[in-house]
Amino acid sequence: MTDARPRLADVGYDTVVIGAGLAGLTAALRLAEAGQRVAILAKGVGATHLAPPTIDVLGYANGPVDSPAQALPEFAAANPEHPYRQLSIELVRASLDWFKARLGDHGYRGGLDENFFVPTALGVAKPTALLPETMAAGDLREGGRFVFVGLRGLKDFFPAYLADNVAQTPLPGRASVTTRVVELAPPLGEARDVSSAGFARRFEQPAFRESVLTELRRNLVPGEIVGFPAVLGIGGAREVWRELETRLGHPVFEVPTLPPSVPGIRVYDTMTSALRRQGARLVIGSTVAGAETGNGRLEGVVAHTAGRPLTYRARSFVLATGGFASAGLELDSSGTVREPVFDLPVAGLPGQNAPLFEPGYFDEHALSRAGVAVDESRRPVDDEGAPVYENLHAAGATLAGAVPWREASGNGLSLASGYAAASAILEVIS
């Protein structure tokens, strides 16, 4: 008979982070860089593998936002329960600078003062504060003649639809945009993988790039800006992108695809490599469910893996388990919303008997704002505003008060709040 009691996972840590999305990776990396012993426990990868890699801080607030720095104070004042209310402009700016420095290999560009407007997979001009260099030439603000490249066989990328929508998308100012499509049929070789990741691996092979270049060159007109699906390699994407620009003699950019997100995987790979270099422990495939507590503090968390449960002890903990999409929040069949790891109080819900959902799919559903409310030290609080545990902090899509997809604020909030959680922990120990 096996003993089902949790075993203690080797030594204790300074901080255990639960979740390996952008919020958890940010908090963990900052803490590890500050010399902490850090463990990251995650059920699986986060939204990095699904979402574009752009850092959208604030894209919409009564219409498209040109400058997040200018729009944020008014936005936060008008939305007192929003997480940005507790994150100062200086902190958000610092988190962007920190991220740009960590993602140096991908040449992130931008900042808080101006949004780029770049096409989504569906051809909407999306405002975003930071983007990888491989996407920068897709900025639609200045207008231009855009060519979208289709790759025969690539699953879930629709260049004609994209080009049509970009041509019609409302743009700031008077930018004028024309679009067209060039469909290529490079040989796919033996590999059967027609996903974005499969094409990204092909782009890392010189012979595949050569056939793309040969076919594409014949089809371009001087002055055109060339948009590829975001599959220009995984580790070596920047080199692939540079080679295409140089050899085509045209600006080249990547357009995010539908999931999986190859450029999001690049972000994950870069951050987890940095974490490993800092000596952090990353345990993917580990679901945290349960805690050991004492004197108002969390002593340890219980993680379930393929083997037996393990207890991880630490001085501080960060909850970065995401929103409903990652099961950081759960809605049961009776309409009750739960935070499943610690059963924390859930804020942001409408009053009793008020509906959680509106009739239209794109309506603003009350449920979207549900999540965990935190104090200034980023600690989840109860209905009275008191911290539930002295040493538990929360970050990312688990937080109450935001509607990220409507605001275009998801990755910006995860980055800034993960950064802030690490700051709060470092302040306590300094």
Ligand X SMILES: Cc1cc2nc3c(=O)[nH]c(=O)nc-3n(C[C@H](O)[C@H](O)[C@H](O)COP(=O)(O)OP(=O)(O)OC[C@H]3O[C@@H](n4cnc5c(N)ncnc54)[C@H](O)[C@@H]3O)c2cc1C
Please identify which residue in 396, 416, 419, 425 interacts with ligand X, judged by CB under 6 A: 396
Say which residues have a Cβ less than 8 Å from residue 222's Cβ, sequence separation at least 6: none
Cβ-Cβ contacts under 8 Å for 106 (sequence gap 6 or more) = 53, 132, 133, 134, 237, 238, 263, 266, 267, 270
Examine residue 212 and tell whether it contacts ligand X (CB under 6 A): no
Q: Applying CB under 6 A, which of residues 41, 255, 318, 425 lies at the interface with ligand X?
A: 41
Structure tokens at 216: 């594409």
Q: Which of 111, 153, 259, 345 lies at the binding interface for ligand X (CB under 6 A)?
A: 259
What is the rounded distance in angstroms from the CA atom of residue 331 to the CA atom of residue 63?
Answer: 30
Note whether 115 binds ligand X by CB under 6 A.
no
Structure letter (DSSP) for residue 370 = -
Q: How many residues are listed for the chain in this entry?
A: 430
Q: CB 282 → ligand X: shortest distance, Å?
A: 10
Report if residue 309 touches ligand X, rule: CB under 6 A.
Answer: no
By CB under 6 A, tell whether 416 contacts ligand X.
no
Look up residue 29 and give its two tokens: 């990396």
Residue 107 within binding range of ligand X, rule CB under 6 A = no
**Using rule CB under 6 A, residue 270 touches ligand X:** no
How near is the Cβ of 139 to ligand X at its closest, in Å?
16
Q: Which of residues 272-301 bind ligand X (CB under 6 A)?
A: 287-289
CB of 324 to ligand X, least distance (A): 9
The answer to the question of residue 257 lying near ligand X (CB under 6 A) is no
Place of tokens 């679901």: 287
Which residue stretch of 41-49, 143-151, 159-167, 343-351 sits at the interface with ligand X (rule: CB under 6 A)? 41-49
Please classify residue 393 by burial: count the beta carbons closer than 10 Å to its beta carbon, then call 0-12 exposed, 13-18 middle and 19+ buried: buried
Tokens of 56: 């959208």
Are 175 and 143 in contact by the 8 Å Cβ rule? The answer is yes
Distance CA 354, CA 193 (A): 47
- Both structure tokens of 38: 């850090």
Express the helix, strand and coil content of the chain in percent, nearest 5 each: 35, 25, 45
Q: Which lies closer to ligand X via its Cβ, residue 152 or residue 155?
A: 155
Identify the bridge partners of residue 298 per DSSP, sorted by sequence position. Answer: 293
Pick from 329, 397, 416, 424 the residue near ligand X by CB under 6 A.
397
Is residue 27 a contact residue for ligand X (CB under 6 A)?
A: no
Q: How far is the CB of 368 from ligand X (least distance, A)?
A: 11
Asked if residue 96 binds ligand X (CB under 6 A), the reply is no
**Which two tokens mark 34?**
């500050």
Rank residues 58 and 225 by Cβ distance to ligand X and give the closer one.
Answer: 58
Contacts (CB under 6 A) with ligand X, residues 321-350: 321-322, 325-328, 341
Q: Is 19 in the site for ligand X (CB under 6 A)?
A: yes
Burial of 307 (0-12, 13-18, 19+ CB in 10 A): exposed
* Residues contacting ligand X: total by CB under 6 A: 37
Q: Closer CB to ligand X, residue 178 or residue 273?
A: 273
With binding defined as CB under 6 A, does residue 6 bind ligand X? no
Nearby residues of 379 by Cβ (< 8 Å), 6 or more positions away = 387, 388, 389, 390, 392, 393, 394, 424
> Can you tell me which of 119, 123, 159, 404 binds ligand X, judged by CB under 6 A?
404
Interface residue with ligand X, options 6, 52, 186, 263 (CB under 6 A): 52
Q: Does 45 bind ligand X (CB under 6 A)?
A: yes
Please answer whether residues 379 and 396 qualify as being in contact, where contact means their C-beta atoms are separated by less than 8 angstroms.
Answer: no
Residue in 13, 16, 36, 46 binding ligand X, rule: CB under 6 A: 46
Nearer to ligand X, 122 or 188 (CB): 122
Per rule CB under 6 A, is residue 311 in the interface with ligand X?
A: no
Query: Cβ closer to ligand X: 57 or 177?
Result: 57
Q: Going by DSSP bridges, is the β-strand pair 330-331/310-319 parallel, antiparallel, or unpaired?
A: unpaired
In the block, residue with structure tokens 């996407």: 135
Ramachandran bin of 335, using left for φ above 0, alpha for ψ from -120 to 50, beta for the remaining angles: left
Cis geometry, peptide bond prior to residue 355 (ω within 30 degrees of 0) = no
Q: Which two tokens stand for residue 280?
A: 């952090």
Q: Which of 410, 419, 423, 425 binds ligand X (CB under 6 A)?
A: 410
Q: How far is the CB of 389 from ligand X (least distance, A)?
A: 16
Task: Specify the residue, 40 or 216, whose C-beta has the smaller distance to ligand X.
Answer: 40
> Contact positions toward ligand X, by CB under 6 A?
18-24, 41-47, 50-52, 56, 259, 287-289, 320-322, 325-328, 341, 396-397, 404, 408, 410-411, 414
